[in-house]
Amino acid sequence: MTLAAPVVPAVRVASIPAAHPYVRNVLAPADVRLLPDPPPPGATDGRWWPPVMCDAGWVAANAGSFDLMHLHFGTESYPAGHLRALVRALRATGRPLVHTVHDLENPQLTDQAPHREHLDVLIRAADALITLTPGAAAAIERRWGRTAEVVPHPHVLPLDAPLPAGTPSPEYVLGVHLRDIRPGTDAVRAVATLLDAVDRLRAQGIAATARVHVNERVRDEAARDRVTALVAGHAAAELHRTERLGDDALARSIADLDVAVLPYRTGTHSGWAELCWDLGVPVAGPPVGYAREQHPDDFALFAPGDGAALAGAVRRLLAGGSRPGSAARVARLADRRGQRIARAEAITAAHTAVYERVLSA
């Protein structure tokens, strides 16, 4: 008689957060069990922030329900002392801490000093560190003397989602999505640089047009008004001012582009660049953080405020790109979906290996 292999229980992870798409896309339900995000007081529609599990009292009361904590996002909701207490509670209950360093600069903040203090607490205390690019890992090594395992960003577009190939256009469409103009978004300078680049490209005989997307409700209304005036004064530009786009509408709006322009002022990595890669759209971006390392063959740098540099970046990307709605774009989408599926298992395996290592230690 053949004995059945013992059933190994899934690792119980208190992930902060659990509901974020990034977290769902790096972990397989068969290998781990994510605790659901406790709803913050007064939260509606699945809002997970400020994260309830990021609290020493919660850890003390719930230590028996999880094996380790994995902190991703949301620390800007608390002062550094709150995080020190969290670390002490994890130590007291024997629960390891894994921290993915997504942001060496927090794009949600204007003043980076609180975020740097948070990093000092978490990076020094974590039992294991993960980050997304070699450049970020090197920065962590230089500043804190800690080694972070590099695990690439997973897919953003769900692997079973439709793959919009975009709408054909006689002109090359260069687009920037400002969304709600958070502190890390350099909205006015990004749009001014894009418009300058369009002028230069058209003078060189390249039929380019600028498309600027911005939410109706933004954090910086003055910046939105200046952007509106810039676009209104340009003959080869259009402004799409809408309510916040849902996932499907957002993917379709990106798919219509020949080149996506990143409007970053601060930041470290870019989920936006990953979504563009999923959709076969090349990216031009400023030298902010390490986004250029995520997909270097599909990324061109330009200096903020330098329209000539952006025009040159666009020309390089167009030379190797695929037009919206073309057979080449459809083929590129299929190839990238295949690559994402192939990589998904390795990304999950890397995370579970980290969990096994800290638990065995």
pLDDT tens string 156-166: 999 999 999 99
pLDDT at 301 over 70: yes
* CA 65/CA 137 separation, integer angstroms: 31
Decide: residue 226, CB within 10 A, 0-12 exposed, 13-18 middle, 19+ buried. Answer: middle
Residue 31 phi/psi, 5-degree rounding, is -95, -30
**Fold adopted by 11-150:** Rossmann fold (3.40.50)
Q: What is the DSSP letter of 17?
A: S
Name the E strands within the chain: 11-16, 32-34, 68-71, 97-100, 128-131, 149-150, 172-177, 208-215, 237-242, 259-261, 283-285, 299-301
pLDDT, average across residues 44-61: 94
Among candidate residues 75, 66, 77, the one with its CA nearest the CA of residue 101 = 75
Q: Which amino acid is at 248?
A: D
pLDDT at 45 over 90: no
Q: What is the pTM of this model?
A: 0.96
What local confidence, expressed as pLDDT, does residue 43 receive?
86
pLDDT at 360 over 70: yes
CATH class of 172-334: alpha beta
For all residues of the chain together, what is the average pLDDT? Answer: 96
pLDDT, average across residues 188-197: 98
71 forms beta bridges with 16, 99
Tens-place pLDDT, residues 73-124: 999 999 999 999 999 999 999 999 999 999 999 999 999 999 999 999 999 9
* CA 285/CA 296 separation, integer angstroms: 11
Sign for the pseudo-dihedral over CA of 325, 327, 331, 332 = negative
Angle subtended at Cα 40 by Cα 214 and Cα 13, rounded to the nearest 5 degrees: 100
Sign for the pseudo-dihedral over CA of 341, 345, 350, 354 = positive
Residue 97 near residue 69 (C-beta atoms within 8 A): yes
Record the tokens describing residue 54, joined without a space.
């990021």
Band of residue 28 on the pLDDT scale cut at 50, 70, 90:
confident
- Report domain extents, the chain: 11-150, 172-334
DSSP, collapsed to helix, strand or coil, labels residue 97 as strand
* CA 173/CA 259 separation, integer angstroms: 7
